Amino acid sequence: MEEVQIISACLVGASSNSSNGNKLISQNIEMTPWDLQFLLVDTIQKGLLFKKPTPQQQEKNNTNMFKSLNSTVSLVDHLKTSLSRTLDFFPPLAGRFSATKNPNDDSITSFSITCDNSGAEFTHAIAQELTVKEILESCYVPTIVHSLFPLNKVRNMQCVTKPLLGVQVTELVDGYFIGCTMSHSVGDGTCFWHFFNSWAEISRGFEFISRFPVLKRWFPENIKTPIQLPLKLDDEKLYECMELPILKERIFHLSKESVCKLKAKANSEMGTKSISSLQAFLAHLWRSVTLCRQVNANEEVTLTIIIGTRTRLNPPLPEGYWGNAAYLKPIKITAGEILEKGLGWAALQMNKVVASQNYEEVVNLYEGWVEKPVIFSRNALFVANRLTISSSPKFSIYSCDFGWGKPVAVRSGMANKGDGKVTLFPGVEEGSVDIEVCLVPETLLAMENDSEFMEFVTVSTT
């Protein structure tokens, strides 16, 4: 497989534009349990694949953006400049974490975000033999895709010294790949795509972004900050690497019609209308993976889903709230139940758990976490017979136009990958879904031969 050549790398700070609405340089932002829970795991890594513009596109759009595309260096400089201007609106991404030891107990550490404009990492790279078609049409996600992201193998906790944001612009034979790596302890997927879309707006020539981030974190009135954590930065156990089996990644595509059929099937089986599209197709995936893993009927299988808190609080968090606002919730049943009781029953188990996550439950979990912090480790995310769901098909991904057209695909990096990692994306076609599945090869091969699963799923190509 061809290699990625790094041309240059530098730190890019905010341009300190006085017109921005977030003047937080040199200020600290306290971190919530939703932020702190991810300290020991990897970052968020998502990237967009673009085709190079045709001469006709450049001639039709006679703008400075298209003029710059005559030179890759000019394009990179333009993206670097627009990134700097975008960081004016997102000062945490140009900062670092601060770790403060409790004077009464050397083993207790508190964390905050310091908006000191230390800079985000910006990398320019070239993959001289890699084509857009190779990424789009490969049966399995090519391993070279992981090299299209910066700050690989960085854990969120290391962003005391490492950048909280890294960007890599890689020139392909006939396209560009823009890979972003963001600390998961500074924000969640909603924040990630808020930033990505805002950067695209500035790149297209907007003076201001369409939606300003709200950087003030939410704390219940009775919570004292900063929140104290039982961590030692020099504890070698925190940096132990998990031994992974050989893994492969594949993207399965669900058309809008297939999504609707699965939802209708699940609701019909249970005589209800409450099961969502997401719950239906996740149940479809969960059943196939359980079958193909050949799990014994009496063994427990787990699906870990994301519970968003933005709309569950009273009052809801403000639009544009910029920080983590979600937690992980495991759903546990036996392999025999999920295979014997059918799609609708499995989907309904998710539906019941999601419905139970109300305001009181969210606040109780928040306050309970403060009393007894639970910080996820990578080992805990990928125990036997588990699927861990990340991202969302509701994110605005294909609106990220940097000035030469919309992306043709989205891919994720190596962060937080293990046997059972599932990443959800919207498909290019409105209403469709792409499911990126990371599993051991024998499970993936068995899924391809699972006729019940494949009846609704196709290989994702654009």
Summarised one tens digit per residue, pLDDT across range 252-268 is: 999 999 999 999 999 99
Residue 29 pLDDT more than 50? Answer: yes
In the predicted structure, residue 235 carries a pLDDT above the cut 80: no
Mean pLDDT of 120-140: 96
- pLDDT class of 19 with cuts at 50, 70, 90: very low
pLDDT value, residue 18 = 47
Question: Lowest mean pLDDT: which of 198-212, 217-231, 357-371, 405-419?
Answer: 217-231
The mean predicted confidence, pLDDT, of the chain is: 91
> What does DSSP say about strands 386-391 and 421-426: parallel, antiparallel, or unpaired?
parallel
Domain 5-239 shares a fold with domain 248-459: yes
Whether this prediction's pTM lies above 0.95 is answered by no
- The candidate with the shortest Cα–Cα distance to 249, out of 397, 395, 428, 45, is 45
Residues 82-95 have a mean pLDDT of 97
Percent of the chain at pLDDT above 70? 89
List the beta bridge partners of residue 359. Answer: none
CA R_g for the chain: 22
> Mind spelling out the 3-state secondary structure of the chain?
CCCCEEEEEEEECCCCCCCCCCCCCCEEEECCHHHHCCCCCECEEEEEEEECCCHHHHHHCCCHHHHHCCCHHHHHHHHHHHHHHHHCCCHHHHCEEEEEEECCEEEEEEEEEEECCCCEEEEEEECCCCCHHHHHHCCCCCHHHHHHCCCCCCEHHHHHCCCCEEEEEEECCCEEEEEEEECCCCCCHHHHHHHHHHHHHHHCCCCCCCCCCECCCCCCCCCCCCCCECCCCCCHHHHCCCCCCCCEEEEEEECHHHHHHHHHHHHHHHCCCCCCHHHHHHHHHHHHHHHHCCCCCCCEEEEEEEEECCCCCCCCCCCCECCCCEEEEEEEEEHHHHHHCHHHHHHHHHHHHHHCCCHHHHHHHHHHHHHCCCCCCHHHHCCCCEEEEEECCCCCCCCCCCCCCCCCEEEECCCCCCCCEEEEEECCCCCCEEEEEEECHHHHHHHHCCHHHHCCCEECCC
Taking the C-alpha atoms of residue 405 and residue 91, their distance in angstroms, rounded to an integer, is: 27
What confidence tier does 228 reach under pLDDT thresholds 50, 70, 90?
A: confident
Per-residue pLDDT tens over the stretch 103-113: 766 666 889 99
pLDDT of 38-47, one tens digit each? 999 999 999 9
| pLDDT tens-digit series, residues 49-71 | 999 977 665 555 545 555 555 56
Q: What is the structure's pLDDT at 409?
A: 97
Domain boundaries, the chain: 5-239, 248-459
Inter-residue contact 218 to 317 (CB < 8 Å): yes
Query: How many other β-carbons are positioned within 10 Å of the β-carbon of residue 340?
Result: 10
Q: What is the pLDDT of residue 53?
A: 78
The CATH architecture one would assign to domain 248-459 is 2-Layer Sandwich (3.30)
- The domain 5-239 is placed in CATH, from the list 3.30.450.20, 3.40.50.12780, 3.30.360.10, 3.30.559.10, at 3.30.559.10
106 is known as an active-site residue = no
Residue 308 has pLDDT above 50, yes or no: yes
pLDDT tens-digit readout, 320-345: 999 999 999 999 999 999 999 999 99
Burial (CB < 10 A; 0-12, 13-18, 19+), residue 27, is: middle
Q: Which whole number is the average pLDDT over 365-377?
A: 92
pLDDT band at 405 (very low <50, low <70, confident <90, very high): very high
- Whether 401 sits among the annotated catalytic residues: the reply is yes
Query: Is the pLDDT reported for residue 362 higher than 80?
Result: yes
Q: Is the pLDDT of residue 439 over 80?
A: yes
Catalytic residue (one of 124, 146, 184, 284): 184
Single-letter amino acid, residue 207 = E
